[in-house]
Amino acid sequence: MDIDKTVKLRPRFRYYTDKKKTVLLERIKKLKTEYSSKFRVKLSGNHIWIHHARSREKIFTPHLHLELVEDDYELPDKLLVKGLYSPNSSYWTMFMFLHFILAGLFIVFAIMAYTKSVLDENYALYVYLMAFVVLAWLGLYVFARYNRKRGLSQAYELEKVFKEWVKK
């Protein structure tokens, strides 16, 4: 898996295995106790979340969400494991909230600039504000990429646990 090569801020992957779901769930329970000092593992039905221990968490620390899918239409005789690397949920929510605020501001400034231009008034301020919002968007993206790069070593640790889990 090329975690660092993708443009996406939340890289995804698909992994097919011949192993049964019950075997993998038993394995993850063993790994949960084996790695309890380094990782927190949560299970809920077909979903598994692997987090780093709270003592090792930073703002850039990723977690790995896995979903076990039986009877996949592409390869029905194999078990599909869907994986998603993503940042802490609260940070991701805050990040998305900031994006929506910026989108709203951009729309408001665009409407104001259009209104001022239709009324033959000076609308330069709103165009500058729209440019500032675009720069802020780019800043958020760069910030997210930077933090993802800082969390790559931890993402590779999660990948190592995943590979140990499915290939053991």
The tens digit of pLDDT for each residue in 99-127 reads: 999 999 999 999 999 999 999 999 999 99
Mean pLDDT across 143-155: 84
- Confidence (pLDDT) at 53: 84
Residue 7 pLDDT greater than 60, yes or no: no
What is the CA angle 81-87-89, rounded to 5?
A: 95
Place of tokens 């076990």: 68
**Buried/exposed 13-38: b ≥16 CB within 10 Å, e otherwise:** bebebeeeeeebeeebeebbeebeee
pLDDT score for 52: 87
Q: Which of 19-23, 83-87, 88-92, 117-121 has the lowest mean pLDDT?
A: 88-92
Q: Using one digit for the tens of pLDDT, what is the confidence trace for 12-65? A: 888 888 888 888 888 888 888 887 888 888 888 889 988 888 888 887 888 889
| Residue 34 to residue 145: CA distance in whole angstroms | 32
Query: Are the C-beta atoms of 48 and 28 separated by less than 8 Å?
Result: yes
More confident residue, 75 or 49: 49
Q: Looking at the DSSP assignment, which residues form a beta bridge with residue 32?
A: none
pLDDT given for residue 9 in this prediction = 62
Mean pLDDT in residue range 67-82: 80
Q: What pLDDT score does 3 carry?
A: 59
Q: Which residue has the tokens 């993850």?
A: 28
